[in-house]
Amino acid sequence: MTRKFIHPYIPNSVPEVQQEMLQEIGVKAIDEFYECIPVEQKVQGKLDLPDPLLSEAALKRHVEGILARNQPAGNMISFLGGGCWDHHVPAVCDEIAARSEFLTAYAGEPYEDHGRFQALFEYASMMAELLDVEVVNIPTYDGSQAAATALSMACRITGRPEVLVAASTAPDRLSVIKGYLYPDIKVNLFDYDTDTGLTDLDDLSARLSNQTAAVYFENPAFLGYLETRGRKISALAHERGALSVVWTDPASLGVLSPPSAYGADLTCGEIQPLGIHMFMGGGRAGFIGAPDDERYIKEYPSRLFGIAPTTHREWGFGDVAWERTSFASRETSKEFVGTASALWGITAGVYLALMGPEGMRELGENCIKRTRYALNKMAELPGIKAPVIGTHFFKEFVVNFDGCGKTVAHINAELLSRGIMGGLDLSQNYPGMGQSALYSLTEKRSREDIDCLVNELEKILST
Amino acid sequence: MSDKTKSRDFHQARWNEPIIFDLSTPGERGILLPEMEPEIETSAGDALGELPGDLKRLSPPGLPEMAQMRVLKHYLRLSQENLGADLNVDIGQGTCTMKYSPKINEQFAASPQLSGLHPVQDENTVQGALEIMYQLEQFLKAISGMDRFSLQPGGGSHAILAIVSMIRAWVDDRGLSDTKDEIITTIFSHPSNCAVARAKGFKVINIYPDPKTGRPDLEAFKEAVSDRTAALLITNPEDTGIYNENIKELTDLVHSHGGLCSYDQANANGILGITRAVNANFDFCFFNIHKTFSSPHGCGGPGCGVVGVKEHLIPYLPVPLTSFDEASNRYYLDYDVPKTIGKIKDYYGVIPAMVRAYAWIRSLGAEGLLEAARVAVLNNNYILNRIRAMKGTEAPYAEGEHRVEQVRYSFQPLKEETGCGFDEVQRRICDFMCHIWSSHEPFVVPEPFTIEPTESYSKQEIDEYLAALEKIIEEARATPDVLKTAPHNSPIHHVAEHEYLDDPKLWAVTWRMYKNRFEGYFEPKKEQQ
Amino acid sequence: MFRLGLIINPVAGMGGPLGLKGTDGEEILELALKKGAFPRAPSRAAHVLKALSQEKDKICLLTCPGSMGADTASQCSMPFETIPLKINQKTSPEDTRRAAKMIQERSVDLLLFVGGDGTARDIGQAVGEGQLCLGVPAGVKMHSSVFALSPHHAAEIVSGLIKGRRPQPRLAEIMDIDEEAFRADQLRARLFGYLPVPGSRRGLQVLKAGSSASEKAKQQAIAAFFVEEMDPNRLYLIGPGTTTRAILQALGQEGTLLGVDALRDGQITGKDLNEKDCLALLDQAGFEQATIVVTPIGGQGFILGRGNQQLSAEVVRRVSKKQILVVATPDKLQLLRGNPFRLDTGDPELDRQLCGIYRVLTGYRESAYYRTEL
């Protein structure tokens, strides 16, 4: 080093300070601290990294230059969904999620970090209202993790080694579930009707046995339609002593019944729609809801914050049944717990408080009606089939373009050149559906946006 | 110590903020949604009414109804009742590397150019994001010497899950499922190592530390390794901050029995640019982006754990990876991973954390990373020297040796002398705008506390923390009741009655559970029937 | 109100500072008094009561007259009731036993006793396994694990109980040694029985220390792992202890808590064996065909020779070192604070040979390799 490096992030780089500290410790140089590391384990020379961008201005220019090469869906007319949705994020959510106090805290105690305990307790409480359950955890990594964990909990609660999962489950989520449960828990699939999308109840009944811990399905399904016979599915599961585990979109629950109303024992899902930006799929957190039943509570691997009195009659909080977690007990813990997605839990709490019951109702109404409008308009286009699967929809539906003789890839490329992001291409994952795409409508898609899409599609399809 | 490093007269905000449901006024609105255009109303008709009965929500969710500013105020107040690392001298959160998360990086992470990206946008429209992911991977390869990285896991434990899933796949793939069924770890390695290994169907062998040196007992280790050993999962330095110089001997031994070795680098902050996973012959390693690479901890996530592997394990990595096609000069998501364990997380991982890490490494370069490590270690040994001199504390193991980036200390002598131990000190130290945290499982070290100063705090701040510690130790002797009834200057007072957290009849993890059980202030509810 | 029983053995621990290694037996006590020993149990008891002074209103203290409790209680201004026990100026073990019985009959939430191993033995003999007890250490020997770490610690546990924290009781060993042998520098610690004591709340940070997965559940997990690995053709000699007993219970067998039982193919084939019985069975089984299963006994981590003397040097010599299997819950290992297991078979040469690393079953599909030293 020719010049002493004093970086703004490293205060004790100042040579005089270092000297003072070394002197107090009684060593001559920092190198002495590393004498414990054998020479052959040491890095020879410098790490192969680019030269630093020392000034903040240079760093800003550099990173923003790279980011400028992105064209975010959020700035365009986007119909992409399929698990990550372009809902509006209220400004207050951004404000709170960016607060230093929340952003940079970690695992403080219920005293100096009282705020995060209360905010997360309130998040869980508001989610419990939305889901109509008594227990909701501090968020998991994402909705897929929540689904996998809920199924794993079901196996421990019932003492059974097998789960039945709807074949209609989102493909990526199914991959996470299978990977997570392997090798101890067997995952079997049950069929659905490729026309109505509804569960094949005969197939489900035939597969249920006294080894089945849980029956899992998603509502709304990945392909956008609604399962109307949830009550029947739950009843079939219960008849054989299995639990009903349902994945749901919390954005739908202002108007749609929570799965607990049709027999779900465990409800799980993703809170990204509740005030969390898409971040290319990097803004995610999962929830698991359960009844007030010790057998369920004891099987949560995640943290649960409970309310407790203080010596001065304030609202205090702490970890409930902490021993469940792998933090507290290596040898008997359920699964594991680590840093997950607490900040997004706080953010989703802010969202639910802003929305209130009426906001959630309006959100649901927006999604359902805009979807219906888009569906009606697109179905009018020649050569297009919509919907491909299902009868009732929340905010997504499948459109087929086989009749137009064009691929989804081509259509989407054309749309993109006109400032529109078309629906998610399903032709790879669902070859049986031909050239189909999943179109998603949030409250952000105005009539104009939809009309624009339809007009442009008309042009593209007619050339 | 100068006057300016005395412990200060501090009081945290105390808002006595009600639970949010008690702030509700029927009719108030926090935000309005787009109004439905007439064309949409006409076309959609009674779409809601047409839903089958079972699907219609019968009563609205019992959410609070609040005007926007009230919501904002409530959460701002709660934020003030939370002592983030930006405000305190967060060196008592040992093992978690609470370094400064630069604000400029927050601007990048929050940029609509990033936050507005949908995960399945056309790859041509996300080249910036992919470039950052790709380049970050190159940096991590240089830092560790590994051959490929997955950035997908959402935290350290999740990274362990990815690694053990790969070990599982590797063992099964070679037809060794019945013969390679043991995983060795150490008692000072993170508990998730043990929990995940068990969940993935392995038997777990824990190695205890040698009582004198604090290193994993080498003789016990040799006894434990056999042809049944599928893998070694080990942290180095462990949470004691002691570097295990025998680390390569351990990996060589496991390799000689055909097993794999995984390096938990959650504690890498003191060895950046000093030593690398590849130098100790590891097959896997993982880093926590939210620790070593400066992404903020967000009250417990979102984090990001990145998993590195050697060449022979690349085929097992989770999909997708990020690759670069020179012909077309573009980055792409690469699903061509023949034996992949599949996905372990939605999409591609926690992208904002990756952008922060990218920017952090770019702002420091190789020299800066090395300086960060060296100063973190200097700070740590400065503290060690000071705490060793405090009567009432001790630093078990490795007497007289220097440590790397952190030390696990014990208040056992203080506890024996005064009856005040970790619990009391912990509740008292928040009266001095500091904190020490409490998960130090397993409790091999009694009354433990762990200090990890990182490179981010100035000597003056460190002195202030130590002054607070010294003052509290004095108090434990002179006025123990001050500790026993602490905290005094926090948002709330002592939660003394733990049955509310332990007893299934009393605990309440949501407000509705509370309302079902209690009324007023924890008055048991009278039976309704 | 929390009903607290208190028995002080005023002579406990008097020999220690004088190098007398215990005060059991009248002559020794007189010798101790002559040498200028002063009672140390009362001051330790006072320490506990003073630490509980804040909780005074919630405690209904029931104690013995005079030096066995009342003196200390009034000195600490702690209100109390006295049981109608007649004691002499010089108290005896019989007084302790009678006091314990009387207090138990008057039903208390916790019986606190201040003394040493001998006191614990007397209490155990009097109250059996039906009374929650806790020892405050004041003796010289202290091999039993029924004691809190210190008077401070004892007060903390009592205060927790008063506040309503009721951790699962744990059966703790009562160990004592033959005092005559001890004074002749021969250690012969024996396992005399068990007393239920308040289970340790894992962890120190109380807000996070929920009700611990019970010691029993952990023992069951170890037993399940043992059964999974068990070789039906092998002879197992199962040593004393609650952890080893859990193995037999998992197999639906009723073992002896303090004795050595023989197990083969999931069945008990011999109960409460003495050294001779063990030798005969091992000779019958043949070399390398038997495994000895032990658990560390007492707070000092002895796996052989203290509390399981039936497994004598002769017996242990008949199996190879690899066939000594240790079972212990992680909590029990943690109580050793990193110290190794220890041995005392009575044959120093054998002890030296047996030092080294042992496999320890610690949970379901979990084990440790742990060091054993002299």
**CB A128 to CB B512 under 8 A?**
yes
- Average pLDDT of the residues of chain C: 84
Same domain, A25 and A134: no
- Pick A106's closest partner by Cβ from B113, B300, B343: B300
Task: Pick the residue from chain C with its C-alpha nearest to A333.
Answer: C213
Cβ atoms of C334 and A329 closer than 8 Å? no
Give tens-digit pLDDT for A372-424: 999 999 999 999 999 999 999 999 999 999 999 999 999 999 999 999 999 99
Residue of chain C whose Cα is closest to the Cα of A321: C210
The confidence score (pLDDT) of residue C202 equals 38
Classify residue A181: in a domain, yes or no. yes
A397 interaction partners in chain B (CB closer than 8 Å): none
Whether A321 and A225 map to the same domain: the answer is yes
Mean pLDDT of chain B: 94
CB C182 within 8 A of CB C172: no
Q: Mark which of A334, A352, A370 sits at the end of a domain.
A: A352
Distance of CA A301 to the CA centre of its chain: 18
Tell me, yes or no, if C371 comes closer than 8 A to chain B by beta carbon. Answer: yes
Of C210, C339, C366, the CB nearest to B206: C366
C234-268 tens-digit pLDDT = 999 999 988 999 999 999 998 888 889 999 999 99
Asked if C365 has any chain A CB less than 8 Å from its own CB, the reply is: no
**Which chains, if any, share at least 3 CB pairs under 8 A with chain B?**
A, C
**Of A222, A116, A115, A217, whose CA–CA distance to A163 is shortest?**
A217
Q: Residue B249: its pLDDT value, please? A: 96
pLDDT at B73 over 80: yes
| Ranges of residues in chain A whose predicted pLDDT is under 50 | 1-2, 326-333
B7 interface with A at CB cutoff 8 Å: no
Of the two residues C11 and A262, the one the predictor is more confident about is A262
Structure confidence at residue C40 (pLDDT) = 78
The mean pLDDT value for B400-424 works out to 92
The Cα–Cα gap between C200 and C170 comes to 8
The pLDDT of residue C184 is 56
Q: Are both A442 and A304 inside the same structural domain?
A: no
pLDDT at site C207: 32
Q: Which residue has the higher pLDDT, C19 or C169?
A: C169
Whole-Å CA distances, B352 to A88, A137, B294: 19, 24, 12
pLDDT of amino acid C212 = 45
Shared domain for A159 and A295, answered yes or no, is yes
- Give pLDDT, residue C143: 76
Q: Which of residues 334-353 of C touch B (CB under 8 A)?
A: 334, 337-340
Residues A275 and A366 reside in one and the same domain: no
CATH topology for B108-362? Aspartate Aminotransferase; domain 2 (3.40.640)
Would you place residue B4 in the very low, low, confident or very high pLDDT band (cuts 50, 70, 90)?
low
Does residue A64 belong to any structural domain of this protein?
A: no
State the pLDDT at residue C210. Answer: 31
Length of chain B in residues, anyone? 529
This model of the complex carries an ipTM of: 0.97
Residue A329 and residue A442 in one domain: no
Show the tokens assigned to B38. Answer: 């007439």
What is the C-alpha to C-alpha distance for residues C293 and C192, in angstroms, rounded to an integer?
Answer: 19
Residue B228 vs residues A350, B171, B282: alpha-carbon distances, Å: 51, 11, 19
Distance CA B261, CA B264 (A): 10
Residue C55 pLDDT > 90: no
Residue at token pair 């050697």: B310
Q: What is the pLDDT of residues B199-226, one digit of tens each?
A: 899 999 999 999 889 999 999 999 999 9
Question: What's the mean pLDDT in B373-383?
Answer: 98
Residue B211 has a pLDDT of: 85
Out of A323, A328, A331, closest to residue C363 by CB? A331
Give the model's confidence band at B330: pLDDT under 50 very low, under 70 low, under 90 confident, else very high.
Answer: very high
Query: Out of 1.10.760, 1.25.40, 3.20.20, 3.40.50, which CATH number does the structure's domain C215-373 have?
Result: 3.40.50
User: What's residue C167's pLDDT?
Assistant: 67
Cis peptide, bond prior to residue B487, ω within 30 of zero = yes
From chain B, pick out residues whose CB is under 8 angstroms from the CB of A380: none
Per-residue pLDDT reduced to its tens digit, B504-514: 899 999 999 99
3-state secondary structure of B362: helix
Flag whether pLDDT at C206 surpasses 60.
no
Split into its structural domains, chain A has a count of 3
pLDDT reported for residue C149: 73
Q: Which residues of A touch B101 (CB under 8 A)?
A: 103-104
What pLDDT shows up at residue B529?
A: 42
DSSP B237: S
A 330-359 residues with CB < 8 A to C:
330-332
- CATH number of the structural domain spanning residue A401: 3.90.1150.10
Minimum-distance CB partner of A353 among B64, B362, B497: B64
Specify the pLDDT at position B444: 78
Residues 46-105 of chain C whose Cβ lies under 8 A from any Cβ of chain B: 51
Same domain, A14 and A95: no
Check residue C37 and give its pLDDT: 67
Residues 327-346 of B with CB under 8 A from A: 341-346
> Does residue A126 lie in a domain region?
yes
Greater model confidence, B528 or A78: A78
CB-CB neighbors (< 8 A) of C366 in chain B: 194, 198, 203-206
Question: Does A65 fall in a domain?
Answer: no
Which residues of chain B from 404 to 463 reach within 8 Å of chain A, CB to CB? 404, 426-427, 430, 433, 435, 437-439, 441-442, 455-459
Residue in chain B lying closest to A310 (CA): B495
A319–C210 C-beta distance less than 8 A: yes
| A:229-248 residues touching chain B, CB 8 A cutoff | 229-231
The residue count of chain C comes to 374
Please, where in chain B does CATH 3.90.1150.10 lie? 366-484
Note whether residue A205 is domain-resident: yes
- Any chains having at least 3 CB pairs less than 8 A from chain A are B, C
pLDDT at C205: 29
Strand partners, B284: B262, B309
Model pLDDT, residue C203:
30
Angle at B471 between CA B466 and CA B476, to 5 degrees: 125
Last residue within a domain, chosen from A352, A384, A419: A352
Query: Is the pLDDT at B38 greater than 90, yes or no?
Result: yes
Residue of C nearest to A304 (CA): C208
Pair A5, A102 in one domain = no
Q: What is the pLDDT of residues C130-141, one digit of tens each?
A: 899 999 988 766
Q: Is the pLDDT of residue C17 over 60?
A: no
Dihedral angle, C-alpha C268, C270, C273, C277, nearest 10 °: -140
Give C 210-269 residues with CB within 8 A of chain A.
210-213, 217-218, 221
Q: State the DSSP string of A44-102.
A: PS----PPP--SHHHHHHHHHHHHTTB--GGGSEE---SS-------HHHHHHHT-HHH
Show the CA angle centred on residue B224, arms to residues B221 and B225, nearest 5°.
90
Rounded Cα–Cα distance for residues A356 and B64 (Å):
6
Q: Give one DSSP letter per residue of C302-351, joined into a string.
A: EEESSS-TTS-HHHHHTS-GGGEEEE--HHHHHHTTTPPEEE--S-HHHH
CB-closest option in C156, C211, C369 to B205: C369
Q: How far is C104 from chain A (nearest CA, A)?
A: 33
Q: How many degrees, rounded to 5, is the angle at CA B134 between CA A284 and CA B234?
A: 75
Domain boundaries, chain C: 2-208, 215-373
Question: Does residue A62 belong to any structural domain of this protein?
Answer: no
Q: Are residues A375 and A433 in the same domain?
A: yes
Please tell me the distance in Å from B342's CA to the nearest CA on chain A.
Answer: 6
What whole-number distance in Å separates Cα of residue B216 and Cα of residue B129? 42
Task: Show which of residues 268-287 on chain B sit within 8 Å of chain A, judged by CB atoms.
Answer: 271-276, 279-280
Same domain membership, residue A136 and residue A95: yes
Quick check: C338 and B211 CB within 8 A? yes
CATH code for the domain in which residue A252 is found: 3.40.640.10
As to burial, measured by CB atoms within 10 angstroms (0-12 exposed, 13-18 middle, 19+ buried), residue B32 is exposed
CATH of domain C2-208: 3.40.50
Cβ contact B363–A104 (<8 Å): no
Residues A230 and A246 in one domain: yes
Question: pTM of this prediction?
Answer: 0.90
**Alpha-carbon distance B482 to C278, whole Å?**
59
Identify the domain boundary among A352, A385, A410. Answer: A352
- A428 shares a domain with A304: no
Nearest alpha-carbon partner for A129 in A376, A428, A408, A348: A348
Parent domain of A139: 91-352
Give domain status of residue A68, yes or no. no
Predicted local confidence at residue C31, as pLDDT = 72
Q: Nearest residue on chain A to B186, judged by CA atoms?
A: A330
- Domain B366-484 annotated CATH 3.40.50.300: no
Residue C177, SS3 per DSSP:
strand
Both tokens of residue B303? 């984090």
Residues in C touching B207 (Cβ below 8 Å): 368-369
